[in-house]
Structure 1
């Protein structure tokens, strides 16, 4: 699009690391608009202080617009939203449902490849959103007028259970992928035995017990309002990933 862009990552120059605030000014200096994606999630206890410090520095350095990636149904994430909204800088909130890409490049990819999506969740529906749609909404908010003060709650076009997800992946790959529900403690114990860090275990437990409880089992029109088009369906995403060979080794 011809827009000068600075990547905020640990490997970039200047580097940006959420754990090293001393480097934030160099990354922010001269920026007109900033897209904020906090790792690992705005729900973790450290997020509020980090977002507060980042917005303070952004305002001092003359940043004009903040676009924050947030999560649906997460009161702790919405606390960080309020920090951005009260910063005195123009803002846009992109509040997203669970990502399709969790199954292609996130925590659930090994489960898909094993042929068994084994998770501690019941028959709960979630409107999975494609990360490319989130990116398009963020780009629009960063580069176009008319998005200031908007909370775009973005979802996919339909509600799906994890059984539905497994069936869509099976249809796309031609290999049987099952969904298997397990008790929460068994899931957490498996993470501990696999050597997962404590903060990752806490976050996954939080998401499955506090967010995937049915509170988000409804569709929203955030993608349509921001972009004037419908969001991508999970079946299209699954066909694309299967064609790319990403799930070729699914058992």
Structure 2
């Protein structure tokens, strides 16, 4: 790739890691965000053209999630505009078990240029950088997951797969479905974090409606709270309770284990 690589969500959990890797390997990179230069905003399509100028490949992440209304249309429109701007390769971050995410994958593939998909399970970093981090610090992770196991994947592994798909041959037309190496319930994950931190951390299951109402009480709009809760209950109904070899197939190595993540994160002081 001789042209710049656009990384949408360049400040996000996977996007900033992709940016860091591309810079370390001397690739031209343009982080795409509202604060970027030029700025990129999914809600303002006039920002897309300037962000795509001179770009040879793009890592596409959609916030808050591909299940939200308008996401599939926006991703498809972006993919077509990217193709028209001369972009040669798109790599989409997608989610396992999400019908809307599959539609977004199809929209990217329909743009007529090289494409790859990184279809990920729940991030390990949700416990350290996002939704569950405050709960870990408080000693209680409150969530409507029941006892459904999930093969949590490390965002570092996602970034490695994405960079390979962006910069190497052999990934065009492939869906890399990436997971961690084993299944854990949320109670299991809490126990491993407790062992790594040396203090009590427990999982507290709640009913979906209770969780939704708490999101609203915390200030999230009702429609967004409903969409997120529906997403969680759908993807944690058991449909994704299996591991894949996606990381190994893409990178030739095993994915990082949750225990390694938990110990490293605790040692770094992220939960202090």
TM (norm. structure 1) is 0.96
Deviation at 1:94, TM superposition (A): 0.4
Counterparts of 1:95-174 in structure 2 under 5 Å? 95-174=119-198
String of CA shifts for 1:106-140, please: whole Å, max 9, x gaps.
11111111101111121101000000100000000
SS at match of 1:7: strand
- 1:237 counterpart residue number: 261
Deviation at 1:199, TM superposition (A): 4.6
C-alpha separation in 2, matches of 1:184 and 1:33: 39
TM (norm. structure 2) is 0.89
In structure 1, the gaps of 5 or more residues are none
- 1:206 counterpart residue number: 230
In structure 2, the gaps of 5 or more residues are 1-24
C-alpha separation in 1, matches of 2:250 and 2:221: 37
C-alpha separation in 1, matches of 2:250 and 2:91: 13
- 2:203 counterpart residue number: 179
C-alpha separation in 1, matches of 2:178 and 2:226: 25
Does structure 1 conserve the Cα–Cα contact (< 8 Å) formed by 2:149 and 2:238?
yes
- 2:91 counterpart residue number: 67
String of CA shifts for 1:174-208, please: whole Å, max 9, x gaps.
00101111122221121121212335412321222
Counterparts of 1:74-85 in structure 2 under 5 Å? 74-85=98-109
SS at match of 1:93: strand
Which of 243, 250, 258 is the aligned partner of 1:226?
Answer: 250
1:44 aligns with 2:68: yes
Deviation at 1:167, TM superposition (A): 0.4
C-alpha separation in 1, matches of 2:191 and 2:227: 26
SS at match of 2:31: coil
- 1:20 counterpart residue number: 44
CA RMSD of aligned residues (A): 1.0
